[in-house]
Structure 1
Amino acid sequence: MSGYGLSFTNNDNVVILDSEYARLCKIYSGRYSPNYGPGNFQSVITFPAPITSAEQPLVFLRPDTVNGLLKLGTVATVLGGPGNWTGFITGMYDQVGFYPNGRYIVASFGAQPVASYGLRLFSADGVPIFDSGTPNVLFTRSFQNWTYVTNSRLPQGEYVNYYTVPFNFPEDEYLLGNSFVMRMNNADNIGRSLHTWWDFNKKVLYAVTIGFSNPYAFFLPAIFAKLAV
């Protein structure tokens, strides 16, 4: 930081709060459950109040642990627009017997004025960058070293590619859902849809792509985070 303002460091001399740089702050958290769409394979969460950041907030999900393979479909589509993000939608991969149940964290690089007392910091532009009611969210790890396993075909001819990485599924780590809702480039103008499957018993995380052409390369990272305690 510059020669004035506020800065806190921890015992390892790591800056944990600075009046010039926003942290990744938890804005909302809670549980999601099936409440939307045919068969209730989707869940819609409406924020208590809109998030006013220009950039899309980050949505992290931790599905409830189940005995078997959990197939996540649309991981996290954020609703609303710049300055008025109102909620998100998540869903399953049309999986009989499993429904979207779990926990979520919604975070932003900047704070919302939510605490009724405590400490609040603003940037030079008057934007809140810290509020004592918004705990820090810490990135923990990411996986980009996917192993291609196999592919299958759907009735309309789409290729389904399967990629895996070992994962121990800790209860306190959440997957960043925003990146897993975007379509990936392909050899056509349609692209590949993207999903994650969680095999809790075998401790394997899957990335699954679906498209009408079949590129084998896959490098999108799966990013995980947790609440600072």
Structure 2
Amino acid sequence: MFGLRVTNDSGVIQVSSEKPYMSLHAEGYQAIGSTYRTTITFAQPCTTTQPPIIFIRAERGSESEQTSFKCGVTGSPGNWTGFVLINGNTTQVNYLYWFAAVWRPLTASGNYGMRIRDANGDVCFHASSQLIKFSRVITSWTELYNDGFVATFGSGIIISSDEYMMASHCHTSMVSCYGGIQHIGVTLDADAQVMVTFTGHVTNSGIGYFPLLLAKKS
């Protein structure tokens, strides 16, 4: 076996030459206000084939109410330019922190720091990248509200002050098993409980295995 492998005290591989790492592409702070649709543009486009993954951490809104967002990445493969947020609660002023992550290190520059290459010679890790780590994955949901048109499910998980919710998988519509289209939103209540909101008829059994990732910046 060749290459480098670094493990922690628990035997978990933290750095190796065999796989890419999720690193920070861009980050920011956005005053959403009460706007329904907000477009956020990266300072530099993301040149990966796969779209970047968008994570958000909403501050408590002006009315201490529920905040809910859908998210869609803008651009095309090799030229991802930013993302769009759809605000599900325009009755209050919303502010949030965000970051975009990619499954590769940032472009290496300078003459210092460690670089690791994979078997193809591509840089898969270098010391100047700011790595992203998944802190928790939520897969269990409890129905909190359902009127047949909108359904909200709670996780019982309170997001911590340094965690972000993955939002970019809540941008596409999906076909309901009962017919029609469902829209998904990632949501926080006034106490910072992580929730998801669906439009259309959906139940606990219908939501099935819907993972929602929480992550932290290194």
State TM-score, norm by structure 1: 0.81
Corresponding residue to 2:145 among 150, 155, 159? 150
Aligned length: 213
Cα deviation, 1:103-138, whole Å, max 9, x if unaligned, reads 112111111215544233333334332232222211
- CA-based RMSD: 2.3
Structure 2, unaligned runs of 5 or more: none
Q: Say whether 1:208 aligns with 2:188.
A: no
Identity of aligned residues (%): 22
Q: Please list, as runs of the form range in 1=range in 2, the aligned pairs for 1:54-69 lying within 5 A after superposition.
A: 54-66=49-61, 68-69=64-65
Superposition map of 1:120-135 within 5 A: 120-135=115-130
The 3-state SS of whatever aligns with 1:40 is coil
State the match for 1:107 in structure 2: 101
1:28-177 correspondence runs (5 A): 28-34=26-32, 40-66=35-61, 68-74=64-70, 76-99=71-94, 101-113=95-107, 115-116=109-110, 117-152=112-147, 159-177=149-167
Say if 1:115 and 1:131, in contact at 8 Å, map to a contact too: no
For residues 199 and 138 of structure 1, the distance between their equivalents in structure 2, rounded to whole angstroms, comes to: 24
Contact 1:60/1:175, CA 8 A, preserved across alignment? yes
Tell me how far apart the structure 1 counterparts of residues 73 and 108 of structure 2 sit (CA, whole Å): 21
In the alignment, what sits opposite 1:186? 176
Task: Indicate if the aligned counterparts of 2:167 and 2:186 stay in contact, CA closer than 8 A.
Answer: no
Which residue does 1:226 correspond to in 2? Answer: 216
Q: Which amino acid aligns with 2:198?
A: T
1:156 alignment partner in structure 2: none
Stretches of structure 1 lacking an aligned partner (at least 5 in a row): 154-158
